[in-house]
Structure 1
Amino acid sequence: MPDTNLAAFANLKFGIGQPVPRQEDPILLQGRGRYTDDVNLPGQLWAVVVRSPYAHGTITNLDAAPAKEVPGVVAVITAADIAHTGPLRCTVPLKNADGTPLRNIDRPSLASDRVRFVGDPVALVVAETKAAAKDGAEAVILEVDPLPAVTEASAAIAPDAPQLYDHLPGNVVLDFRYGDAAKVEAAFAAAAHVTRLSIRNNRIVVCSMEPRSAIASYEPETDRYTLNLGTQGVFGFRAQMAGIMKVPVEKMHIVTGNVGGSFGMKASAYPEYAPLLHAAKTLGRPVKWVDERSGAFLSDAHGRDHEVEASLALDAEGHFLAVRLHAHANMGAYLSTVGPMMGTANFVKNVQSNYTTPLIEVVTRAAVTNTTPISAYRGAGRPEGNYFMERLIEAAAAETGRDPIALRQLNHIRPDQFPHKTAADTTYDSGDFSALLEKTLQEADWEGFPARKAESASRGLLRGRGIGNFLECTAPPSKEQGEILFGEDGTVTIVTGTLDYGQGHWTPFAQVLHQRLGVPFEAIRLVQGDSDRLIAGGGTGGSKSLMASGAAIVEASDQVIEKGRQAAGHFLEAASEDVEFTRNPDGTGRFAIAGTDRGIDIMELAARLRDAKDLPADVPRSLDVRHVFDQAPMAYPNGCHVCEVEVDPDTGHAQIVRYFAMNDFGVIVNPLMVAGQAHGGIAQGVGQALMESVAYSEDGQLLTGSFMDYGLPRAQDLPDIGFGSRPTPALTNPLGAKGCGEAGCAGSLPAVMNALVDALRDRGVTHLDMPATPERIWRALQG
């Protein structure tokens, strides 16, 4: 249950609910951030990765001798040099339909006998300078006997498809099935109407602002590795790298400074890191590697990539009877840590959305192909599940002559149905979906659309409107550290295992602590990227950071208050049970004897404890607390986006001209930052809907390998985005928060595509796949 005490001081200037600017912005805007490329160590060497130019083939010769002759080259690391290291593996415990575990792949850090995608690393060249390392990499002789390639999941499972692994017949790593197939089939058989759509969830390049980079070092005195790099959480990353290097976790130190974006891509280890650590140890010098954008396009995990047959069964009144997804999920050439999760379990949880659909069936065949591996990308199956459902609803409404708004409201879960156990085996705790939808339509001026459509038509343009009425399931919060330290310099430091890679955790975490303890907001610091400081940490991902770290801060604050009562009792010469935690008129935390004006401010109490000598045994030596929040169930952020587009029928060009997003994110700590998160997610959703898509040639060459070939949304592609909030607090965590980081994608994909289909429906177009490029729209109109 949310802690009502947190709302008691909502009028604090820096308290919960206030639009406080991000504290790190002045640092970053002045160029004072510290990214991995800013780290330079004495005596460091430089590394460049040699990658396969072939999508599939057998290595017949890998000759490093010419590279070693290049001036400045110190070493060339190949698979034989790191044979003692462990593989990279998928860690999600998914099972096949027959109950057997997924067929895992032991991915080596460097390929030795076979390459399986363009970009597969085969060697690491280490030199005195980056230029020398590049020259050395170009001198490595790699000879490959090419093999046929396959780039689509559905093609990979065909009987005559090239086989990537001997232990994976048909290239299938997972035959996933969820739901009672017999009951679902019976529901479809008895349905008054069935809507069916073939939907492509296009592959995405993550395109983080900061390409991956790392600097590895080794301390022979302690037999300990240190790896500086961008991550989404150093605690879990340390365990993963220790496993790969086959050393105890205490022998691995992970450090992350500022991170220039990730969106899921930097959450797990990559093949480059083990060779870097090995080189640092064997050469006795730090080794630095900074990828370039061309390498990032090839080697950074891609996102999405599913081929889906989606179906929705309705009864005569329009009630949803069952939804069914039959999918092919492209894993790429290897399994990432969470690769199969998106097109399987996350489809199940999120296609339910905010509707009472009683039956769900998801059948997914996950297959390997000769492409860059797939991993989590903003939403990681959550936007997709909502996208499939919203497209089905729009199509069903059009096919049956129903109002799509009324159809949604007819099937919405009602407030009196909470807690609501879903067909996806989740339990929703709160929400008012129909009321939120109605408020969205009012704010978006739904009734004024016909006049705007007519005005567009007067200019020869087709205008359409679309809804994205979504609900997504966040990742369940894992154990999370909540440490609070009162420094000698008057600062108060929060130590957390989540990690900010662009979200701006410092400010909202400080708001929670400021409101809870009344410590000065400007004195609060945040430590989050050093594995040596952590005893727990789930990292950042799945829109769970505030629920996890926020709850840890709340619980740690309660412990600070209890210690403060004991300490204040000593200094005030009163029994601790007579001391209460209260506030000064300015909100400053204060411990006072109940019923009197005698008390001591929290910061003064912390200072007196530091300076005190010979304290009694029952008096705390400080107010410092190191606490681990156990975890809470997942939450269910939801909302509704309304998009309006104009389409030029002569060119197929589509322009988003109006956009409004109404959200239920539960208790919002910082509305300014939440709106920013929503805007970012919407922009990425618009990018996928209108322009972003990875393309491969038949032989597996990446055709969209740079920003010359791969489109990203720019400011001119987006209108002003309206943002509204209609919260219902979550009942599953102390803050009542629901998470917001990925919801922008969940609402924007269906809103944009529904708007486009609405604009084109009068011309006979009933479905359009992403990305809706001008060419694709033009061809649809001609058809």
Structure 2
Amino acid sequence: MDSYDDTELALMKFGVGQPVPRMEDPTLLRGQGRYTDDINLAGQAYAVMVRSRIAHGLLKGIDTAAARAMPGVLAIYTHADLDAAGFGPLKCPMNIPQRDGSPMKTPPRPSLATGKVRFVGEAVACVVAETAVQAKDAAEAVELDIEELPAVTTPAEGLKPGAPQIHDDAPGNLALDFHYGDAEAVKKAFAEAAHVTRLDIISNRIVVNPMEPRSAIGSYDSKTERWTLNVGCQGVMGLRGGLARDVLKVPADKVRVLTGNVGGSFGMKSQVYPEYGPLLLAAKLLGRPVKWTDERSESFLSDHHGRDHQRVAELALDKNGRFLAVRLSGTGNAGAYIYPPMPATTNAVKNIIDVYATPAMEVNSKVVFTNTTPIGAYRGAGRPEGNYYMERLIDTAAREMGIDKVELRRRNHIAPTQMPYKAPSAMNYDSGEFTTVLDKALVAADWQGFDKRKAESRARGKLRGRGIGSYLEVTGPPAKEYGGVRFEADGTITMLSGTLDYGQGHATPFAQVLGGKLGIPVTRFRLLQGDSDQLKVGGGTGGSKSALVASQAFLEAGDKVIEQGKQIAAHVLEASAVDIEFLRGRFVIAGTDRGIGILELADKLRAGLKLPADVPQSLDVSHISDNPPFSFPNGCHIAEVEIDRDTGVIEVVRYSMVNDFGTIINPMLTAGQAHGGVMQGIGQALMERTVYDPQGQPVAGSYMDYALPRAADAPDMSVQNHSVPCKTNLLGVKGCGEAGCAGALPSVMNAVVDALSEFGVTHIDMPVTPEKVWRALNGA
């Protein structure tokens, strides 16, 4: 009989669906987390990057003489050193076909600039010294000879004839001319429509701003000829592959990536960054580890930014308000280099349909190079924007056609009887009860009581508005995932996963899934994700897919543990394997009370239990799962805002949401994910914006200039679940990581426009700052 203490016995009930507190929180709250900058290796040196202060220019020379003579300086590396060592540039692994079928333009990005600089903050040289302060002093002494060229900061400028050419192999600065959809069917639908709604709409550029700045330590073992990179990332296997393939040009087994705690990423830390190559080269040439940690001011320049799209969104409706077609046209700002996931293109296609039956769609997007920080993934990466565009179109169409905005949504919902529903995006929706979700959200928001609240606000000199934000997201694409199970000598079980927790809290829900399968308390489990040497594959974390892919992998791995255990238990219990059953953590002989607990069996194996050669020798499992296809989390958020008529200040005063995340492993954690996503959506909607001057200099480059939402900006949030299990994976999980943003952008912005509508405002772009509102209220 397995021996559990009272706490473990109490936690036996905490399987899938229970609000189990995150197991890592006590460690993190005591300040005992181990982030990259907390790691210090014996003999390490320190690196600081020399960055361009010019957005666009010819790099004619790098004078390092004065810097090299400064105290403590060990080396200064430039592109020539990387080139001499055989290091390669960073490459975009995506290749989306152009409208004409030709490949998109993906010019490689050098780790250290050569020939040209293309944005303020681009790394040009790497200074290594005995201390971080010495390295910083020397970096400031490096002199760059740059012949400044005209810069472009917006796609519109970049596409103009005669605009400064940023990359020679991307004429006209066009990275991708993207088209998706049946253009003729869409054209016909618009021609026959009784009404067409059209909006010019912007998704503003934001700085990601995770709590933990980027940091890395490069090491090299000359005996084994292996590189090790300690770094915060979103998946060690993907990062290892990119480093080995593109930068180091060595077999993947020559590279080890180690990741401990990660203080946020939201998509931004998923890629190989330019700093990693110089660190690894320095470690090899100096024979000692080299550490680099970003400062926040550098992060504003060198971390990938998010969003930055301009769209013309159009919706065609018949005389009864039925949707006939939707069309998006516009541009996406790539920044100076291309990085996946190209949110201006494929994710817009997948998400623009939202929860509505729309027979035809078309997406046209020109992705343009500019002299700005490259754009990368940011929480949702095109998914929230797709829902935002559709929900703003619906509110506008309802006003223009004189149809109630709730009724217009109900009228166009995809019905449960239409499942599986093949959208014109080629996505196959497997499940969803969208009208029910909307109706529950209306009740949660006290929709009927709004007029009273609006009158109370007016009595206090405030405008009040309400907005609906329905959403449907498409999770990240399927890929193989790792689900390893290892029974340890101390009685714990190690779960190995190729996903990576950068704040979500994977350890607890994964333990709930596997613990429920094996009948073992969640406290016995440990999670290992951040060591590429101990994993076989791994898709990392992104696209709201970790719970669904990891649960599938661990359920399948659990089945293998049980099957192996039955064969081993049969030998121990002197029975036939076909007579062994597994019940609540015990292997028992069917029809008897004779059995052995799974952990007791693991103890016997560790003690040297002798087994026949044809019987598995261990309970350990190393399993690679063929991951399930897409899932479709969805929901409805309703926001209410108050606006001060004198100052234009906006406050989100009520927020209600009903989400369909499928089977919920841990409702406490899904609520937390929703809270965080909503606040990031509120930040983008009301205050966050990255601004460049005409010379390509960032104007909002610190927290003195860039507004992030604070605790005082957070409304009380009502979170309810309406769970319709997904049919595309074993557990029925749909994902939840990006849903908060997807619901917040449209609900908050629809509420703002609703509040301003009595002043004739029919649309306003994000971020809705007090100045912008004041101008709208005063007719400017």
TM range (shorter): over 0.9
1:168, CA displacement in angstroms?
1.2
Q: 2:5 maps to which residue?
A: none
Q: Map 1:539-578 onto structure 2 (within 5 A).
A: 539-578=540-579
Tell me: CA distance 1:561–1:613, structure 2 relative to 1, closer, same or farther (3 Å): closer
Which one-letter code corresponds to 2:230 in the other structure? N
Aligned residue number for residue 216 of structure 1? 218
Q: Secondary structure, in 3 states, of the residue corresponding to 1:662?
A: strand
In 1, Cα distance between equivalents of 2:607 and 2:141: 64
Paired AA for residue 250 in structure 1 = D
2:602 pairs with 1:602: no
Secondary structure (helix, strand or coil) at the match of 1:331 reads strand
Task: Give the letter aligned to residue 569 of structure 2.
Answer: A
> Could you tell me which of 110, 117, 120 is aligned with 1:118?
120
1:132 correspondence with 2:134: yes
Q: Mapping of 1:380-529 within 5 angstroms?
A: 380-529=381-530
| Paired residue secondary structure (1:504) | coil
Alignment partner, residue 173 of structure 2: 171
Partner of 1:296: 299
Contact 1:492–1:525, Cα closer than 8 Å, also in 2: yes
Alignment match, 2:656: 660
**Structure 1 partner of 2:607:** 611
Residue 67 of structure 2 corresponds to which residue in structure 1? 67
Per-residue CA deviations over 1:394-431 (Å, capped at 9, x if unaligned) read 00000000001111111100001111100000000001
Give distance in 2, aligned partners of 1:251 and 1:316.
64
Structure 1 gap segments, 5+ residues each: 1-8, 584-588
SS of 1:477's partner is coil
> Is it true that 1:733 corresponds to 2:729 in the alignment?
yes
Secondary structure of 1:516's counterpart equals: helix
Verify the 8 A CA contact 1:476 1:635 in the aligned structure 2.
no
* CA offsets 1:599-625 (integer angstroms, 9 cap, x no match): 111110111122234311222211111
CA distance in 2, matches of 1:737, 1:294: 39
1:267 and 1:48 mapped to 2: Cα distance? 22
Counterpart residue type for residue 110 of structure 1? L
Instruction: Work out whether residues 121 and 302 of structure 2, in 8 Å CA contact, stay in contact via their aligned partners in 1.
Output: yes
Give 1:154 shift: 1.6
User: Distance in 1 between the 2:444 and 2:214 partners?
Assistant: 41
Name the % identity.
Answer: 60
- Equivalent residue, structure 2, for 1:195: 197
Letter in 2 for 1:312: L
Residue in 2 that maps onto 1:50: 50
- The equivalent of 2:374 in structure 1 is 373
Q: Output aligned runs, 1:697-708, within 5 Å.
A: 697-708=693-704
Partner deviation per Cα, 1:632-684 (whole Å, 9 max, x = no partner): 10100000000000011111111111000100000000000100000000000
Shift of 1:10: 14
Q: CA deviation at 1:749?
A: 0.1
CA-to-partner distance for each residue in 1:516-542, whole Å, 9 max, x for gaps? 101232111110100000111000000
For 1:413 and 1:501, how far apart are their aligned partners in 2? 35
Q: Structure 2 CA distance, aligned partners of 1:729 and 1:477?
A: 18
Counterpart contact for 1:10–1:17, Cα < 8 Å: no
Q: Is 1:249 paired with 2:249?
A: no
Map of 1:18 onto structure 2: 18
How far 1:207 sits from its partner (Å)? 0.4
Q: Compute the displacement of 1:551 (Å).
A: 0.6
Quote how far apart the aligned CAs of 1:160 are.
2.7
How much is the aligned-residue C-alpha RMSD, in angstroms? Answer: 1.1
User: Are the counterparts in 2 of residues 468 and 640 from structure 1 also a CA contact under 8 Å?
Assistant: yes
- 1:99 maps to which residue? 101
Alignment correspondent of 1:312: 315
Contact kept? 2:72, 2:131, Cα under 8 Å: yes
Superposed displacement of residue 351, structure 1:
0.2
What is the aligned partner in structure 2 of residue 723 from structure 1?
Answer: 719
Q: How many residues align?
A: 768
CA contact (8 A) 1:477 1:547 kept: no
In 2, Cα distance between the equivalents of 1:521 and 1:230?
Answer: 26
Deviation, 1:12, is: 5.0
Q: Secondary structure at the match of 1:266?
A: helix
Deviation of 1:11 after TM superposition, in Å, equals 10
Per the normalisation by structure 1, the TM-score is: 0.97
Is contact 2:106–2:337 with CA below 8 Å preserved after alignment?
A: no
1:477 Cα deviation (Å)? 3.1
Once residues 571 and 280 of structure 1 are traced to their aligned partners in structure 2, the CA distance between those partners, rounded to angstroms, is 52
The residue number in structure 2 matching 1:768 is 764
- In structure 2, distance between residues paired with 1:521 and 1:250: 33
What residue number does 2:581 align with?
Answer: 580
Separation in 1, partners of 2:139, 2:165: 29
- 2:11–2:521 contact (8 Å) kept in structure 1: no
Q: For the residues of structure 1 that align with 2:305 and 2:11, how far apart are their CA atoms?
A: 44
SS across alignment from 2:582? strand
What's the offset of the Cα at 1:437? 0.5
Q: Is the partner of 1:561 in helix, strand or coil?
A: helix
Task: Work out whether residues 507 and 527 of structure 2, in 8 Å CA contact, stay in contact via their aligned partners in 1.
Answer: yes
Alpha-carbon shift at residue 476 of structure 1 (Å): 2.1
Q: 1:10 to 1:690 in 2, by over 3 A?
A: farther
Distance 1:324 1:717 in 2: 34
Cα displacement (A) at 1:93: 2.6
Between 736-745 and 602-611, report the one with greater CA deviation.
602-611
1:156 is matched with: 158
1:635 corresponds to:
631
TM-score (norm 2): 0.98
Maintained 8 Å contact 1:265/1:376: yes
Which residue does the alignment assign to 1:5? none
- Corresponding residue of 2:6: none
Q: Does 1:41 align with 2:13?
A: no
Mapped partners of 2:739, 2:91: distance in 1: 29
Q: Which amino acid aligns with 1:547?
A: L
Over residues 117-169 of structure 1, what are the superposed CA-to-partner deviations in whole Å (9 max), with x where a residue is unaligned? 00011000000011110111011010111100110112110113211012111
Distance 2:467 2:416 in 1: 25
Distance in 2 between residues matched to 1:477 and 1:526, nearest whole Å: 22
Spell out, residue by residue over 1:720-756, the C-alpha distance to the aligned partner (whole angstroms, 9 max, x if none): 1110000100000011000000000000000000000
Contact persistence 1:223–1:251 (CA under 8 A) = yes
| Segment drifting more, 404-413 vs 616-625 | 616-625
Comparing 538-547 with 165-174, which one deviates more in the overlay?
Answer: 165-174
- Counterpart amino acid of 1:59? L
Q: Secondary structure at the match of 1:96?
A: coil
- Check conservation: 2:12, 2:521, Cα contact below 8 A: no
What amino acid maps onto 1:724 in structure 2?
Q
Q: Which runs of 5+ in 2 are unaligned?
A: 1-8
CA distance in 2, matches of 1:30, 1:11: 23
Aligned residues of 1:610 and 1:621 also touching (Cα < 8 A): no
1:427-463 Cα distance to aligned partner (Å, 9 max, x none): 0000100011001101111000011011111111110
Corresponding residue for residue 4 of structure 1: none
Cα distance in 1 for partners of 2:128, 2:287 equals: 12
